[in-house]
A = this chain, B = another copy of it.
Amino acid sequence: MTHFIAQPKQGVPFVSVQTMAQLINKLGIENVLQQLTKRLETDFTRWQQFDKSPRYAAHSPEGVIELMPVSDGELFSCKYVNGHPKNTFRELQTVAAFGILADVDSGYPIMISEMCLLTALRTAATSALVAKYLAPKNATTLTLIGNGAQSEFQALAFKSVLGITDIRLYDIDPSASQKAFNNLTAYGLNVTICNSAEEAVKGAHIITTCTADKTNATILTSEMIPQGVHINAIGGDCPGKTELDAKLLERAAVFVEYEPQTRIEGEIQQMRADFAVTEFHQVINGQACGRESQQQLTIFDGVGFASEDFTALAFIRDQLIATGQYSLLDLITQQADPRNLFSVLTAEHTQQESVA
């Protein structure tokens, strides 16, 4: 029971959107992204301790609902996350996520947290961590293709972790690029809005593709990309959703998080089953090479793995312990005798007439 944030009988700590936003603002978003990147690095070094499985995915015509469970034997985490590109047209999020952290020893949930913001942070921190190992040396320019919900988090993670100074934006919807431009003005970055993907990738050391269409698109063709670049391809993350030209993958050294999941969901779903990839934890742990030369083309085929959410939730858990700032949910029954569940119905506070 050493993992509890609050005593189990007090309730389950809950991190609302507002609590999360206040926490990020209090610590500073660049500080949070740096700390998260460090914790991701630490957790990737103990990759073998995680009980891994491809995520559960329930596909429907409009999108997908996924569950991403993982455990390190001490803590268990699970993220609920959807992906519904058309939600944007009805003023809903494409991605609406929340997470559960639980104590393995007792099986009790110890935290429920919003994960719309937290997923954006962990995705950006993962991108930055991977780029720290794979991007060409002295990279200063990042291109962001797809300027939706993830874009500002990407820019700030690459700035704070890798020292990126120049951001080039492109989106098929110019208002998305303008939105990202406006949000990033306060952070001391040189931001340029471009009129095409071709224009945007010019001079880039790192290119993040993060588009939302659930389709096999070709956001980057092989012709557009010179050698020496690092591509951070994070938008293609479910069956039937890809962003890169297969020819580009053929030219590159391709890195993934967890191969069994990426074969199903990543850019490499286009490739034959034996197309060579390297799991990123091997690079961190010195079991495989990262970038081999400044001329090499590297691709991170990132789909998001449950252990990254685990790391992010464990980070938030530690902040809650430090600050004591959370509310408590009356989610689990707390009767004096565990075997007397029925007594919950006869307890006095459940008898009062409810007020509509």
Contact = CB atoms under 8 A, between A and B. Distances in A.
B69 A84 contact: no
Interface string A1-22: 1000000110000101111011
A138 interface: no
Interface in A318-356: 323-325, 329-334, 336-347, 349-352, 354, 356
Contacts of A114: 330-333
Given A29-B345, A92-B108, A150-B341, 14 more contacts: A9-B91, A18-B349, A56-B69, A62-B107, A65-B71, A65-B102, A80-B100, A84-B106, A96-B107, A96-B108, A120-B341, A179-B339, A323-B356, A329-B329
A345 B76 contact: no
A60 B72 CA distance: 10
A25 interface: yes
A240 interface: no
B17 A105 contact: no
B107 A65 contact: yes
Contact of A108 (B82, B150, B153, B350): B82
A153 B22 CA distance: 43
A350 B26 CA distance: 10
A181 to B, nearest CB: 12
Contacts of A345: 21, 24-25, 29, 117
Interface in A46-102: 51, 53, 56, 58, 60, 62-65, 67, 69, 71, 73, 76, 78, 80, 82-84, 87-88, 90-94, 96, 98, 100, 102
A80 B65 contact: no
A277 interface: no
A67 to B, nearest CB: 6
Contacts of A21: 344-345, 347, 350
A252 interface: no
A352 B21 CA distance: 10
A183 interface: yes
A344 B345 CA distance: 40
Interface string A127-149: 00000000000000000000111
A11 to B, nearest CB: 9
Contacts of A344: 17, 21, 116-117
A94 B108 CA distance: 10
Contact of A76 (B18, B65, B352): B65
B338 A117 contact: no
Contact of A96 (B87, B109, B324, B337): B109
Contacts of A176: 339
A308 interface: no
